[in-house]
Every structure is written in C-alpha cells, then in structure tokens.
Amino acid sequence: MTFLTIGHRGVMGVEPENTLRSFVRAERAGMDAIALGVQLSKDGVLVVLHDAEVDRTTDGTGAVADLTLAELRELDAGQGERVPVFEEVLDAVRVPLQVSVRDRAAAAALAELVVRRDAVARVEVASFRDAVLAEAARLVPGARTVLHSDLAGDEAEDVVDRALAAGAQSLALNLRRLTLETVGSAHRAGLRVTGWTVNSLEHLRLARALELDGAATDFPEIRSTGRFTA
C-alpha cells in the first residue's frame, strides 16, 4: 500500500507556512499533496492563512476578516513572502490540494473558484465542521471532502458516522489521539484515513502501526523516509 505524504501548509518546518515559497518547495520535495487553509478577506477574497488573526504568521495584527486584500498584501508573511490568494496557489503548483475551510461563506467562495477554474479533480475540501463539508458537496457535485477531527472528548466514538453523514471520503485525524480501532472502523466504512502531524521517525512508526493511508508533515525529508509500503 502506498503511503500518501501531505505537505502541511507547504513544508512549514523549513519555510514560512502557507506561502508560495513553502508550497513550491513542498512540490519540489515530492509531496503527494499539500494541505492549506483559506479564509475570506474583508473584501471577499479567498486568502491562504491558517489562524483567524494575522499576528502569529505575519508582522501585522488583527483579524483576517477585518483586513482587505490590499492590507493583507502589505504584511510580511516570513522571509519577505506575502499572503497569497488561493488562485495563486493553483497556478504555482500542480500537486493535489487539501483545502481547509472554517465556514460556509468560505466554502461557497472556494466552490465557485474550483468550478470556474475546472479544478475539482485537484482540490479536496476539508473542515472540522460537518455542515461545511455537506455544503461544499452540494455546491460542487463530485467534490471530494475530508473531515478533520482532533478526536477530543467523545469525537473518537462518532467520527466515522459523522464523516459518512457529511458525505466525506476521508478522515484527517490527530495522530496522538488516534487508535487502531478507529482506523479499522473507518477503513471498513470505505474511508481513507490520514494523520497529523508526522514530524519524526517515531511518528512514522506510529503511523505505520496504525495502518494509516498517509500523513501530513512539516518537513520535506519525511517524504523520502515515509514512502514505505505494506
């Protein structure tokens, strides 16, 4: 079985996360896919940022939703990189993209863009919210969706049922809280299961012991180390 290696926000362990520089390096390193998050700017543009605020990853402050694209473009996202819009990522790399969205508004904007750019085959829509995935599937027939879960509290008990109810094809789960029982249940239901975040040989061994289909990583070297077969 081939192990899928997903670049986490590009390769954020060695490059500024969620920047074109990070995405291009992830592709050059041979990542099978890239995971990133998108949000809407104040003026409705789909930008690539993980946090709800820009404080951690740029030299600016404030909520993404309160800043226009022009204001976001003025920020340094690390090593002189600028906050990219999602369409730039589509143009910069060719690997499949796993795009995480927080709400229905972002999901609708992503759906419109994916259809317009004929990128349905390249883009998986991911979210921690079941309703967001269901909305994405409604807006883009044939879209592949991924349910994220931290597996906190009682989530581990119903995560497979939630994914199936939302029409998801895959689960992306917290490796440190994941059990072989959950993976087995997901596989029996026909779901692909990936873990996050795999950044060491110990994590890779755990991923293999759990019989995962793949994992997200911050580091390019994990790709060559992690291409094991079972």
Give the other-Cβ count within 10 Å of 230's Cβ: 7
- Give the strand pairing for 144-149 and 46-48: unpaired
What CATH number corresponds to the domain at position 48? 3.20.20.190
Query: Would you call 212 exposed, middle or buried from its count of C-beta atoms within 10 A (0-12, 13-18, 19+)?
Result: buried
Answer yes or no: is 142 within a domain: yes
pLDDT band at 222 (very low <50, low <70, confident <90, very high): confident
Domain count, the chain: 1
Q: Residue 227 above 80 pLDDT?
A: no
Answer yes or no: is 36 within a domain: yes
Start-end of H helices in 43-151 = 69-73, 86-92, 104-116, 130-139
Q: Residue 155 above 90 pLDDT?
A: no
pLDDT band at 228 (very low <50, low <70, confident <90, very high): very low
Answer yes or no: is 123 within a domain: yes
Answer yes or no: is 31 within a domain: yes
Answer yes or no: is 225 within a domain: no
What's the CA gap between 118 and 179, in Å, rounded? Answer: 37
pLDDT band at 86 (very low <50, low <70, confident <90, very high): very high
What's the CA gap between 187 and 81, in Å, rounded? Answer: 40
The residue count of the chain comes to 230
pLDDT band at 157 (very low <50, low <70, confident <90, very high): confident
Q: What's the pLDDT at 226?
A: 57
pLDDT band at 229 (very low <50, low <70, confident <90, very high): very low
Range of the domain at 30: 4-169
pLDDT digits (tens, 9 = 90+) for 71-84: 999 999 999 999 99
Answer yes or no: is 195 within a domain: no
Whole-prediction pTM: 0.95
**Residue 186 CB contacts under 8 Å (≥ 6 apart), including other chains:** 159, 160, 163, 171, 192, 193
Q: Residue 85 above 80 pLDDT?
A: yes
- Taking all residues of the chain, what is their mean pLDDT, rounded to a whole number? 94
Q: Residue 172 above 70 pLDDT?
A: yes
Q: Residue 118 above 90 pLDDT?
A: yes
Q: What's the pLDDT at 156?
A: 73
